[in-house]
Chain A
Amino acid sequence: MAGDAPLLEVRDLACHFFTLDGVVRAVDGVSLSLARGETLGIVGESGCGKSVTALSILRLIQKGAGRIVGGSVRFEGRELTTLSDEEIKELRGHRISMIFQEPMTSLNPVLTVGVQIAENVVRHTGAGWREAMDRAVEMLRLVRVPDPERRVHDYPHQLSGGMRQRVMIAIALSCDPQLLIADEPTTALDVTIQAQILELMVELKEKTGTAIMMITHDLGVVAETCQRVMVMYAGRKVEEAPVGELFANPLHPYTRGLMRARPRLDEDAEGSGRRPRLQEIPGIVPALNRPIAGCAFAPRCALATDRCRAERPELEERPGGHLVACFEAGKGVP
């Protein structure tokens, strides 16, 4: 394997859902790559396709509801879209792990957390049960669950939300994966617990060298954990850049809109005593079950021209490792 080949390379991925209301193009031609040990953030609002992208990589799209209709996913040089079910199962929880927003729905309520960690270890490494339980304690210690020797015998309902998410991370990292996909891992948690979990993830990444794909709607989470960010809208990538570049120099009107729409915690904008207006993004996201002519963001975009409404902008490279899909990129008020 070449040292500089990306760990994960997704090309033109398309995942469609077949519903009574027509074909929903949830992911419609997304490309991305992730280097070893890198953290990539994927941001966007509900329905932008960020979660479906992640689920497609792991082939977790429910059969019968939707399927990958095009593109390729190469991980460590292997094509994942054509693997057999058995082969992809072997990969999940081993080379690639995933954690979700609500840990309670991902944990088995009738097994102790120790057994759930050990199960994964036994399945993927062929370790003995005893050895695997030792590993479970070690993993709980790694994710800083207090008193791991005792907690290993706890059931999920005995743990708080934050502790459950730590357990999920322990399971996910138990077989030293190369890639951890985290889908809104702190969204269901309180802010002080979120701070603990994000700190833990950043620290574990340094320690283990696991690459992370961080899927979130929260630009704050991205700013604090990611090295590179891609912004998705209506099933497509509209912008991508290193994290510093994206926040310093957002080019896509949607990205700029997202940054301005959110009230800021760190700004004394209310100096005059009057509450400032937030900048709205008018309208709502388009339905994805009908073909979209032109740029999907055009109906909500203040900069949209006739060309934007007729022709779809492709991603273009800009200085600073920046990619943007917009004919009017960088124009208007920065």
Chain B
Amino acid sequence: MSETKPGAAPARPSLEVFDLVKHFPIRKGVFGRRAGEVRAVDGVSFAVAPGETLGLVGESGCGKSTVGRAALKLVEPTSGRIVVAGADVTGLSPRAMWAHRRRIQTVFQDPYSSLNPRLSAGAIVGEPMENYGLSRGRETEERVAALFQRVGLRPEAMRKYPHEFSGGQRQRLGIARALAVRPEIIVADEPVSALDVSVQAQVLNLLIDLQEEYGLAFLFVSHDLAVMRHISHRIAVMYLGRIVELADKRTLFRQPLHPYTEALLSAAPIPDPARKRRRVVLQGDVPSPANPPPGCRFHTRCPYAVARCRSEDPPLREVAPGQHVACHLREVGAGPGPLAAAGA
């Protein structure tokens, strides 16, 4: 696959998100008085090109899942714009969204809770085809059988119910359902996190094969850096509702520029006892998104923070070709280089 750089994206992206904001109200008391808000997503923009995988990575509460849910219109954004396959779907009612929903499909983390237990596997995949008028009757059956084969399920499995499948098979079924309506982009939220390592590999390989075969775009949401590195073309790192770094994966892993990215990459344990790494162990916990710190949101845990970081919010800027970073310590064109620990 060719690496797609932001700015150099082909004609029409499969998904575009402009300045997405999603605040959830915190309600208190018996009357549900609005007592504040959780700033789950606070100004996020990106585009996913056809055939590309954009990885959204970050820790719990960073807003990565909310971004995915907003793109799917499962939550209505507080502000910002969402463009699916060239059509602005912001503010569309569920009914008006229906026509566009065919273009953007999803694969969830827990395939069991996302599959109707009362429908046979064949119906789960076949119904959306008929709903969208893509096929009917015998033709549907044939297409479902072909799709089953493609995702590695036996056609006989069409008569089974979700509970009769193993976790990995259920995820294959979830993937078949998503593919049934020939979408342009799939939002996959932690699609392999609930699976055992040996089965994870099967599903990851399948996703990559399908992407290359159908030219699908993926918005791949995960906390798992190794999986991200494997499947993504570009990666956006999120922290407290913001993208702090966005770059193609090779650049990101070889030369992370944001201190949070650096810490995140160095924190993941590596299965090689002979390898000793310089690890940046972050102190403290992620602050609450209901009350994010002023200035740079990462400054409370950043080993390099200076006075400016505590007062001024750094914008996401392209500091090197294709590498976008939100950090005061990374001036445009200043080059990578190690940062100096504060007070050192």
Contact = CB atoms under 8 A, between A and B. Distances in A.
Contacts of A261: 197-198, 200-201
Q: Specify which of A259, A261, A274 lies most central, judged by the most chain B CB atoms within 10 Å of its CB.
A: A261
Given A192-B59, A192-B263, A222 B271 contact: yes
B269 interface: yes
Interface string A246-266: 011000000001110111111
Nearest to A222: B271
A309 B2 CA distance: 45
A190 B60 contact: yes
B273 A244 contact: yes
A224 to B, nearest CB: 5
A297 to B, nearest CB: 11
A45 B168 CA distance: 13
Nearest to A216: B269
Q: Specify which of A146, A244, A261, A265 lies most central, judged by the most chain B CB atoms within 10 Å of its CB.
A: A265
A263 B285 CA distance: 27
A247 B274 contact: yes
Nearest to B284: A146
Contacts of B199: 281, 284
Nearest to B285: A160
Nearest to A276: B230
B150 interface: no
B278 to A, nearest CB: 12
A264 B226 contact: yes
B100 to A, nearest CB: 29
Given A191-B59, A191-B264, A196-B282, A224 B198 contact: no
Interface residues of B, number: 48
A243 B273 contact: yes
Contacts of A265: 225-226, 229, 253, 265, 268, 270
B136 interface: no
A4 interface: no
A223 B270 CA distance: 7
A162 interface: yes
A266 B254 CA distance: 10
Interface residues of A, number: 51
Interface in B215-272: 223, 225-227, 229-231, 249-250, 253-254, 263-272
Interface in B269-299: 269-275, 279, 281-286
A280 B198 contact: yes
Interface in A153-194: 160-163, 190-194
A3 interface: no
B274 A190 contact: no
B267 A266 contact: no
Given A223-B269, A224-B273, A278-B204, A262 B231 contact: no
Interface string A121-162: 000000000000000000000000010000000000000111
Nearest to B301: A192
Contacts of B208: 275, 277
Interface string A195-223: 11011000000000000000001111111
9 contacts: A195-B267, A195-B268, A198-B269, A199-B281, A221-B269, A261-B200, A261-B201, A266-B272, A278-B230
Given A218-B269, A224-B269, A278-B200, 17 more contacts: A190-B60, A191-B267, A193-B59, A193-B285, A194-B269, A195-B279, A196-B281, A223-B270, A223-B273, A243-B273, A244-B273, A259-B271, A265-B270, A275-B1, A278-B201, A280-B201, A300-B198
8 closest Cβ contacts across the A-B interface? A220-B269, A263-B230, A281-B198, A190-B59, A219-B271, A195-B267, A261-B201, A45-B196
